A and B are shown apart, each in its own frame.
Chain A
Amino acid sequence: MSHSHTMQKVPTFKTLGRLLKNVFKYTKWRPAVVIFCILFVTIAGSSSTIWIGYMTNNVLIVGSSVNGVLITWKDVAPAFLHMMIAMLIVYGVGLIASAIQNYLMAIVVQSFLLKTRQNLFYRMESLPLRYFDTNNHGDIMSTYTNDIDATRQLIGIALPQLLQATLFCVFAFVLMLMYSIWLWLIAMLGFAVMLASLAILGGKSGKNFVKQQHALAKVEGFIEEMMGGQRVIKVFCHEEQAKKDFDKINAEYNQASSTANSYANSLMPVIMNIGNLMYVVAAVVGAVLVALSAKNIALGNYVGLGSALKLDPNGFMTIAVVVVFINLSRQFSINVGQIAMQTNAVVVGIAGASRVFALMDEQPETDNGYIRLVLAQKDNNGNLQEVKNMGNVWAWKDARANILTELKGVVQFKEVNFGYNANKTVLHDINLIAKEGQKIAFVGATGAGKTTITNLINRFYDIQSGEICYDGIDIRKIKKEDLRRSLGIVLQDTNLFTGTILENIRYGKLNATDEECIEAAKLANAHDFISRLPDGYHTVLKHEASNLSQGQRQLISIARVAVANPPVMILDEATSSIDTKTEALVQKGMDSLMRGRTVFVIAHRLSTIQNADCIMVLDKGRIIERGNHEKLLRERGIYYQLCTGALEIE
């Protein structure tokens, strides 16, 4: 709901055009048939004027006398029969067309939604991390819900009705012209007034609906914060103040919503009754013209339809013309009303579509890497042979030169500079080397750049200058997929998925057997608590795994990495207070996972990194101290202060 309106404005028609193009692309011939059917339905729908005219001119003349001859039922019966048959045919065809139209439309709309959702999601999956870090998650989510729903309204309801109403208006417009240009001018005057009031009221209503949206977003924001802090409110007896603040924001919403809906509600009665006024004026003017025996100018006469339309052969205005005309004008205004009703849906729908397209137009992550990670068999002489499975080592394979090099797990930063924005450097001149099997720890205050470093190794972000090498290879040359496969990450935010525990562990290796998963859980120290759950490994995790404690979630996420068995690991420790017992479990799990691998640890507790081969102390994006635990203590620098509790780590 609370969309940030930051993106640049895309021309409305361009968006609409692209939307329609997609509809055709996704659903092939169907929209064309739908349009064709709409045409038939519209013709059938507008034919009533013709029947009335025909009945008036050919059937209901029974009993009157023409040139002194009394017309009997026998004289009109054939015409009546013909008309009945014609009606059955026209309406029958119309009905079939309508059935086809609505049935196809159901398919068109749902296929369009399916394809749009898929394309949206596919594109989203390919986007770089920057997108997710810089966009509000609620806003991205709202593209899938509110915006797609708005396009559904537009395509499924608004556009077909708009097409139908517009077609009808065009028919009526031309027909009216055929009957009488004088009366047509009056109708157009009425039409102009309708359009003007549509512009004024519609504009006001649109503007106020935007205001309402803002007010609603404000209400939502406030409620979200207050509901989240409800316990604090209770503890501080802040209820009355909260109510007062709420009432103020709620009243603002009331005002905005009331105004917006007032305009929207007024639109239809105003347009419909302008139609009624137009009707009266046309009838009066028509009657006066008849009374004055005025000449009628009708286009019908010039295109040779004069007799078919029963226009007066002498060119006088007749009452029959007036009757047919005002009926037409009434239907005309009903359809303008239909158009007016859809304007809001069109505006909202196009805005929604433009946001959908904005996401679809985001640039996906690029990957120019050509070095692949493969499984290889190493023979006794140290020669490598690529194998499909069951290899004993990982190897880098240069796809161009077809050379295999064994993976060692050496990671080196050379003069790395990085900033999330080009003009704000977050990491300055980082130089470090993690040798095979070493444990490198990063410590420092919040915002010092610890997490940023890990974002760079797996190329979630690309560095601005310098080089990061993996076994001597610039990581930009490695296929991203393979680079990431060789790096295991355990994050603070465990991010487990809805599903069973087993499924969540298997996420690390999709073809892992149950046994492998259980093995991994044992390695991660998670097996014990999982076995104690009533459903064991088949326990379903719901609502972001809220049925488990933070420590238990952490253990599962460690098992998830364990099953993937990557040569290099990045561990971001949990910060929230886990009790000592669970913490020890987590620590043990991590320790067994680290064995024999190159590991980067982002430490939030100093107790866990004493045995690190090298500890990097970060401050404002620079490594200010480095060395092992003893060395750093001896130096009496920042690390020493952190250890003695003189500085806050978080």
Chain B
Amino acid sequence: MSIKTLAKNVRQYKLPAILAPILVALEVAVECILPLVILKFMGTIQIRNGATLNVGEVVLYSCILVSMALVAIVLGVLSGIFAARASAGFATNLRQNLFYNIQNFSFANIDKFSTSSLVTRLTTDVTNMQDGFMALIRIAVRFPLMVIGSLISIFILQWQVGLIFLGLIPILSIILFTVFKSAHPVFKTGLGKYDVLNRNVRENIKAIRVIKSFNREEFEKKKFDNSANQLYKYFGKGEKIIAINSPSMLFCVWGAIILVCLTVGMLAKGAVQSGGAVTEGQTLAIYLMYGYLIFAAIMQFSMVLIMFAIASPSINRILQVIQETSTIDSPKNAITEVEDGSIVFKNVNFKYNVESDKYALKNINLTIQSGETIGIIGATGAAKSSFVNLIPRLYDVTEGEVLVGGKDVRTYDLEALRNAVAMVLQKNLLFSGSIIENLRWGKEDASMEEMQYACKLACADDFIQTFPEQYNTYIEQGGSNLSGGQRQRVCIARALLKNPKILILDDSTSAVDTKTDAFIRKSFRDEIPNVTKLIIAQRISSLQDADKIIVLDGGKIESVGSHEELLQTSKIYSDIYTSQMKTTENALGNIFMENQKKEGN
């Protein structure tokens, strides 16, 4: 089942994926036959008792040998190329499949996996699979064929020698398997310790300022020594177990040589007595050659086994992502037009995890008219973000319904809904690329004028104009070459370009200075009056001129009203207001006003 899911990713590389093992099989066949032909050839150059060299036979067999070697080169190279293509292709498809599926993830799906774990799955795990796949179609095919082919050849030549090999194969296999079995758990534990060590180092690199300022270098060294010694213990133990492999292999190969020589000697004894033919030296050499081929194949297979053991957790991690189905999809016969920017919450309950009994939002009932400006405030964990996330259907309600433009959000086509509801996330991101490229996330074919207009609304045009390359300025990953406030303004402009019916700003002006913040709000009021605006903020000054302010507390609406109303009715709101009034910005505002008055006088 799971293997089938993975195997599907071979897709357009089926041909090389099938050809590679077939060519490997042919190559093995050539390799198995080659010693037999060599033996024939040796017979032709072996001139006994003054007989003359049969030139014709020598030429014939040397031609056969040369062409076999050439064929083997071609087969080997082609199978190598096909295997490389197939496995690289497989990895490419697998990675694509993962990436595509992640694109279908809803927020709830994304919550399940951390970013770094997704990155590992798409990189290291896929690379492991690529190596594993290549090993599978090359070595895993090669091994049994090589063993069988060599055994057949050797039985044709001398069944007694064949019996020796046949008897030794299970011995070596059992030893290797036992070693693998007992070493695997040790290495697994060791890998866990390895993670601890790496985490330790990562923390050290990151927290070096803390370490240095507390003079904790020696302490950290001791901590590290501890992890490193644990690693030494487990890997040392594991490697000592693995150390049995190589002597075991030699035991079998050399044991085979001794037994073969003994058998050949005994056969010679018997042959002399019964008047039969004595085995020749070169035939003995050929026996040993087959022995080498057989045991080397088993050894290689054991290495592949180890490789698979390493890759097997990768399989599970990849399958987890591939088999994850999106919790949110567009319905059939979806509505593709959002009427207006009105929002209604009807008896909405919401929890992030169906199994948990803790509701993030409880009993929300609210109606927002199209074009209204709504402020949302509340402490961390008050569920402000959860509240707005339900509107563009980033999450689905657990109970009740959310209506946008008069219709349940679950009846809309997702893209249509999200195009109508522009959202600037709290943890907003710009991507590496020019400002223009980033802005065009909002509208793919936005003209320069449109972009400039959006940036003017978001108060971003001014600072962009001061950059030497203006709108072509390259933004580093995560927007690290812009200040926090600048980043937020570009993000707002990007959202505005969607020309939405509803605009949600989730704490998106926290780093913008109050004056610019006010200016942005003013331009919203003047330029996009019909767009419903929801603004989450920590600063009361960002909200106080909203039509309605919603105070959230512990997942419930504590109160709704205008700034003046809430100062009277909401304890939470007035508390926040008082504490913020104490802060410089506002206190200063008063001094500022006083000064203005004085100057006015």
Contact = CB atoms under 8 A, between A and B. Distances in A.
B76 A141 contact: no
A134 interface: no
Given A110-B235, A254-B89, A98 B281 contact: no
Interface stretch (B154-162, B239-247, B351-359, B526-534): B239-247
A510 B216 CA distance: 9
Q: How large is the interface on B (under 10, 10 to 19, 20 to 34, 35 or more residues)?
A: 35 or more
Interface centre among B73, B89, B245, B262 (most CB of A within 10 A): B73
Contacts, number: 437
Interface in B25-79: 27, 34, 38, 41-42, 44-47, 52-53, 55, 58, 62, 65-66, 68-70, 72-73, 75-77, 79
Contacts of B583: 605-607
Interface string B237-262: 00110111111001100110110011
Contact of B204 (A64, A125, A264): A125
Contacts of A558: none
A273 B119 contact: no
B271 interface: yes
B477 interface: yes
A485 B215 contact: yes
A269 B76 contact: yes
Contact of B250 (A98, A216, A629): A98
Interface residues of A, number: 158
Contacts of B320: none
Contacts of B247: 95, 98-99, 102
A225 B47 contact: no
A532 interface: no
Nearest to B245: A102
A189 interface: no
A236 B250 contact: no
B158 to A, nearest CB: 13
Contact of A273 (B76, B273, B428): B76
Contacts of A633: 588, 591
Contact of B104 (A122, A235, A239, A241): A239
A465 B45 CA distance: 88
B20 to A, nearest CB: 9
Nearest to B207: A495
A257 B103 contact: no
A237 to B, nearest CB: 5
Contact of A261 (B44, B87, B224): B87
A274 B498 CA distance: 65
Interface stretch (A165-173, A384-392, A400-408, A640-648): A640-648
A110 B240 CA distance: 10
Interface in A305-321: 319-320
Interface in A191-231: 216, 219-221, 223-231
B144 interface: no
A580 interface: yes
A290 interface: yes
A242 B103 contact: yes
A114 B234 CA distance: 12
Given A129-B208, A144-B201, A495-B206, A650 B119 contact: no
A33 B211 CA distance: 42
B285 A52 contact: yes
A614 interface: no
B278 A62 contact: yes
Contacts of B483: 445-446, 648, 650
Contacts of B91: 254, 257
Given A279-B38, A645-B515, A577 B507 contact: yes
A118 B484 contact: no
Interface centre among A56, A225, A493, A648 (most CB of B within 10 A): A648
A273 B69 contact: yes
A283 B254 contact: no
Contacts of B201: 121, 141, 144
Nearest to A125: B217
Contacts of B45: 283-284, 286-287, 290, 319, 322
Contacts of B87: 261
Given A495-B209, A579-B380, A645-B585, A265 B83 contact: yes
A537 interface: no
A648 B513 contact: yes
Contact of B281 (A53, A232, A580): A53
Interface centre among B45, B58, B106, B510 (most CB of A within 10 A): B45
Contacts of A48: 257, 288
A60 B281 contact: yes
Interface string B412-431: 00110011001101011101
B198 interface: yes
B399 interface: no
B285 A91 contact: no
Given A44-B254, A94-B250, A319-B45, A227 B118 contact: yes
A544 B6 CA distance: 34
A87 B273 CA distance: 26
Contacts of B235: 110, 113
Given A106-B236, A287-B53, A319 B225 contact: no
8 contacts: A113-B235, A227-B119, A228-B115, A237-B419, A262-B84, A276-B65, A320-B281, A584-B579
Q: Which 9 A-B pairs have the closest CB atoms?
A: A269-B76, A265-B80, A56-B281, A645-B514, A261-B84, A287-B45, A607-B583, A495-B207, A106-B239
Given A236-B442, A269-B72, 12 more contacts: A114-B229, A121-B224, A219-B122, A225-B432, A227-B119, A251-B92, A265-B79, A266-B80, A287-B45, A290-B45, A446-B483, A607-B584
